[in-house]
A and B are shown apart, each in its own frame.
Chain A
Amino acid sequence: MNGKQIHLAVAACTDKGRVRPINEDSYRISVDQNLFVLSDGMGGAAKGEVASAMAVEAVDRSLRENGADGFPKLFTSYAESSNGTDSLVRAIEMANREIHEHGMRDPGCRGMGSTIVAARICGTRLSLAHVGDSRAYLFRADVLQQLTSDHSLVAEQVRHGLMSHQQAAASELQSLLTRALGTEESVSVDADEIELFPGDSLLLCSDGLTRMVPEDEIAAILTQISSVRIAAERLVSRANECGGQDNITVIVVRLNKPRSWFAKFIPWCSSNLV
């Protein structure tokens, strides 16, 4: 659909790491919707893997069912239309209800929950929504920039100027989330929209990556490896080399740079007509 004007390369990789008995992370790449979703289940005994699988499935399905309304209409300007982002938020709210209700019905799943980070690319616009501490990063001009703010106690403290990044990274309380999917009846979803440029990469990841591998090392891997598949695998194996304390999942999306100025001209003309 919209993916034709910009050339996306996508790859994902997941691993249970070296400590946890099972992988509670889930992800979904929905090529026809240009949708990328990643979820980190929590509450070992309480079926975190069920929650995360439900989360990615519910978001994908809900956007598919809402179909075309979610996409910006032809010729609407960037400023006027945020439908894509709104529908992403609604889909996550829906997923929250489903997980919460399932947890209430099934005693084995009581209290289960997950994080979620979802990205959808529409033309040159990236819609982003998240809950919890799974992150989205933009890798542009060799610089890695975190696009999401973790919903964790330590991150809140950093935002309030009460703790430094270094202290937060060393904290033993990193696992205390202030928001999650499915643990309460309703959830507040953070959303953002940015414009993408050719050459940009998007990284979605669970905390099993970011707690193990420093950001400059993640940036170095994305700089050095041009294949998204190899980069995704390398990020996961690096997290394992650094300890693999948690499940690790990454999705890498790259907007390929056209080869020449002429090739650049053509896709950019058509992408403006999304």
Chain B
Amino acid sequence: MPVLIVKFEGSVLKKVATNGGSITIGRGPDNSIAIDNLAVSNRHAEIKSEQGGLVVEDLNSLNGTFVNNQRVKRSALKHGDVVSIGKHSIQVDESAHGESPDIHRPAANTKGTPRVDETLVLDTEKRRKMMQDMAAAGERSQITPSRIRVATLVRVKGQIDQAEYQLTGKLTVIGNSEMATIRLRGWFKPKMAAQINRRDDGYYLGRGDKVPTINGNPIGAPALLSDGDLIVVCGVQLRFAIKE
């Protein structure tokens, strides 16, 4: 059976055996070849065996599937052909008969194939290019591209020092500590009643000395906040707002 060699910028990422079944390629993790590049659609293309040969079919992807640099809807594949999907390429290798690496096994386990596990740093030029591509792909894809968004907490009720807070820090403390971002007034208020952690994918509310509630529900583990959520802690009510 032919082997598909998946490459990115000249480095071999993995080898995938064709076992007669269908091999799907896309950004989603459930694909046989999952490519997390933004130029790749969720279900981008499929490679299958038909009448003893391999065929690639584009599954109405946004940015297209290319065979030897020609955009195709469907095309038969032969030894040496290169299927390009975004910046990744998949080379058809029919010379590797008998060898059938596991579909999901990374290439590190396959003898002699280099892999991107050595840490590399992108130089300024390359980085700018990739970020541009990323932004461009983001604008075209269905996922909402967001600039890094800054959330706001608006006072609804309670004794605190400001009417509104921008959550610019990595960690926002609600408490009566001098250094708390949101300072609770009152002698017996805890130094750190609750905390909000800004992570890559959003803002999480976690407990401190008190268990805060979101929309009336006490939180257990840190909870991801959504626009409009009402936070209550130590008698203070705050509205969480996050906008583009």
Contacts and interface: CB of A to CB of B under 8 A. Distances in A.
B145 A143 contact: no
Interface stretch (B69-77, B129-137, B155-163, B230-238): B129-137
Nearest to B38: A162
**Which of B14, B145, B171, B207: most chain A CB closer than 10 A?**
B171
Contacts of A176: 116, 120-122
Contacts of B36: 154, 157, 163, 167-168, 170-173
A23 interface: no
B123 interface: yes
Interface in B99-121: 106, 115-121
Interface string A65-88: 000000000000110000000000
Given A173-B36, A176-B120, A125 B148 contact: no
A147 interface: yes
B200 A141 contact: no
A125 B179 contact: yes
Contact of B106 (A40, A154, A172): A172
**Which of A77, A138, A162, A197: most chain B CB closer than 10 A?**
A162
A90 interface: no
Contacts of A108: none
A197 B169 contact: no
Nearest to A44: B118
A195 B170 contact: no
A153 B119 contact: no
Interface in A37-85: 40, 42-44, 77-78
B143 A42 contact: no
A4 interface: no
Interface stretch (B47-55, B58-66, B89-97, B190-198): B190-198
A153 B130 contact: yes
Interface residues on A, range: 35 or more
B159 to A, nearest CB: 20
B117 A175 contact: yes
A163 B137 CA distance: 12
A172 B122 CA distance: 15
Nearest to A178: B127
Interface string A104-144: 00000000010000000000110000000100001011010
A183 B169 contact: no
A245 interface: yes
Given A141-B208, A145-B171, A145-B197, A42 B120 contact: yes
Interface in A139-194: 140-141, 143, 145-149, 153-168, 170-173, 175-180, 183-184, 192, 194
Contacts of A177: 119-122
A155 B200 CA distance: 7
**Which of B121, B145, B178: most chain A CB closer than 10 A?**
B121
A97 to B, nearest CB: 16
A246 B108 CA distance: 13
A195 B173 contact: yes
A161 B38 contact: no
Contact of B180 (A138, A170, A175, A195): A195
B29 A172 contact: no
B152 interface: no
Contacts of B141: 162
B222 interface: yes
Contacts of A245: 117
Interface string B195-229: 10101110010111100000000000110000000
A160 B135 contact: yes
Nearest to A245: B117
Contact of B222 (A143, A149, A164, A246): A143
B22 interface: no
Interface of A: 40, 42-44, 77-78, 113, 124-125, 133, 138, 140-141, 143, 145-149, 153-168, 170-173, 175-180, 183-184, 192, 194-195, 197, 245-246, 272
The 3 closest A-B CB pairs, nearest first, are A195-B179, A42-B119, A180-B121
